[in-house]
Amino acid sequence: MKSNPWTAARIWTLIGYAAASAALFAAPLYLSDFRLNLLAKFLAFAIVALGLDLIWGYTGILSLGHGVFFGLGGYAMAMYLKLEASGGRMPDFMEWSGLTALPAFWKPFESLGFAFAAGILIPGLLALFLGYVTFRNRIRGVYFTILTQALVIIATTLLIGQQAYTGGTNGVTGYSKIAGYSISNPDTKQMLYWITAAFLIVAFIVCRFLVASRFGKVLRAIRDGENRVRFIGYNPALYQMTAFAISGALAGLAGMLFILHVGIISPSMLGIVPSIEMVLWVAIGGRGTMIGAVLGAVLMNWGKSEISAQYPDAWLFVMGALFVVVVVFLPNGVAGLFSRLTSIKRRVTGHDQEAVRNPAV
């Protein structure tokens, strides 16, 4: 960490990231439309995983409520798409529910710019508010986690109950155009894929910047010992709130991108099970490393779609088994496996960095 930042390891890492980014952007060349669509969905999930890793892996706060932030982003974009598809008329489900005029809070969503901003800011601000009332009062650990579960229940209940305004259980679906382009057109889909990949890369870089900064070191210090952080003069609540808000905003962004590829958002997509699944991606990919979170989200979802295609009922068992294996044998997930392999190599080559990574050995 001293002197020259251009060490060989660092150069190789950068080359690896550059190659991965190139492979992502070239994906339309070697994937069918169907698979490209799946990959686009997984990349959106990877953005949620980044945010979850920031709050859980780095700050040590487990949220089982990220489905809500994801869903808020999804609904914001869905409202825009629905209004665009309805072409100036009221969305169909509102007519069925007997509404006579478009509700005032739907109005601004006629603008894509507004919807996009809202899809990031609303979940971000909700997370900030939730963080403010909990972290400031030193609510943490399981208590915080249970609160996030309660948030999920409140959100799904509200969405289902307010059918006239939210589409109820069916959610919001039936989109046709985005910014004037047909959403089912293969060219548009390809462009949306590229946009998603670009957002993932930007989100990844931002998260890497965050965790490498002194801010990120304070986050890890809070994970290690929140009280000690207090006694060196930091107010941990401010840091936790900031990390949680960024995490929520990333989930919102992911939700927006997600529905562009899926064409529907409904309360079941932000329920308790999806919220827990999101955490599993990070656990299995490796928390505390950004690349682990991305890998976890993409590989788990890829596995899910492959296995479910062959054996529709097997996925839950596979996921459960994977989780057990990771918890028992790979506490740092798949990414931890890689760094363990390289540290074995270092041991063999007698490189003294080994002592740095594993000084207790």
- Looking at 5, 98, 180, 233, which residue binds another protein (CB under 8 A)? 233
- CB of 361: closest distance to another protein in angstroms? 9
Number of residues that bind another protein (CB under 8 A): 31
Q: Which stretch binds another protein (CB under 8 A): 141-149, 189-197, 231-239, 257-265?
A: 231-239
Q: Which of 103, 141, 225, 320 binds another protein (CB under 8 A)?
A: 225
Query: 187, 214, 312, 328: which one contacts another protein (CB under 8 A)?
Result: 214
Q: Please, which residue, 32 or 227, has the CB nearer to another protein?
A: 227
- Of 10, 89, 345, 357, the residue at the interface with another protein (CB under 8 A) is 357
Residues near 103 by beta carbon (within 8 Å), at least 6 away in sequence:
94, 165
Please say whether the dihedral angle defined by the alpha carbons of residues 46, 48, 54 and 56, taken in this order, is positive or negative: negative
Which residues in the 328-347 window bind another protein by CB under 8 A? none
Task: Considering only the stretches 89-97, 178-186, 248-256, 350-358, report the one whose residues sit in contact with another protein under the rule CB under 8 A.
Answer: 350-358
Applying CB under 8 A, which of residues 177, 208, 220, 304 lies at the interface with another protein? 220
Closest distance between another protein and the C-beta of residue 245, in Å?
Answer: 10
By CB under 8 A, which span of 86-94, 96-104, 165-173, 232-240 interacts with another protein?
232-240
Indicate which single residue of 224, 321, 325, 327 sits in contact with another protein (rule: CB under 8 A): 224
Site pattern 173..212 for another protein (x: CB under 8 A):
-------------------------------------x--
Does 223 contact another protein by CB under 8 A?
Answer: yes
- H helix runs in the chain, sequence order: 8-25, 27-30, 33-52, 66-86, 92-96, 112-135, 141-161, 163-166, 186-212, 214-224, 226-231, 236-262, 272-285, 290-310, 315-329, 333-349, 353-357
Pick from 186, 228, 317, 327 the residue near another protein by CB under 8 A: 228
Q: Do 90 and 101 form a contact (C-beta atoms < 8 A)?
A: yes
Report the distance separating Cα 73 and Cα 81, nearest Å.
13
Residue 24 · residue 201 · CB < 8 Å: yes
Q: Which of 202, 296, 301, 220 is nearest to 54 (CA)?
A: 220
How many Cα atoms are found within 13 Å in the side-chain-facing hemisphere of 261? 25
Q: Which stretch binds another protein (CB under 8 A): 25-33, 174-182, 223-231, 297-305?
A: 223-231
In the block, residue with structure tokens 């057990």: 324
Closest approach of Cβ 239 to another protein, in Å?
6
Q: Sign of the CA dihedral 93, 95, 96, 99?
A: positive
Q: Residue 215 interacts with another protein (CB under 8 A)?
A: yes
8 A C-beta contact, residue 70 and residue 251: yes
Cα–Cα dist 43/275, whole Å? 17
Radius of gyration over alpha carbons of the chain, in Å?
21
Q: Identify whether the C-beta of residue 242 lies closer than 8 Å to the C-beta of residue 140.
A: no
Minimum CB separation from another protein for residue 284, in Å? 20
Tell me the closest approach of the beta carbon of residue 72 to another protein, in angstroms.
23
In the numeric block, the tokens 């808020």 are attached to 72
Window 2-41: residues binding another protein (CB under 8 A)? 2
Residues near another protein (CB under 8 A): 1-2, 210, 213-215, 217-218, 220-221, 223-225, 227-228, 230-236, 238-239, 242, 355-360
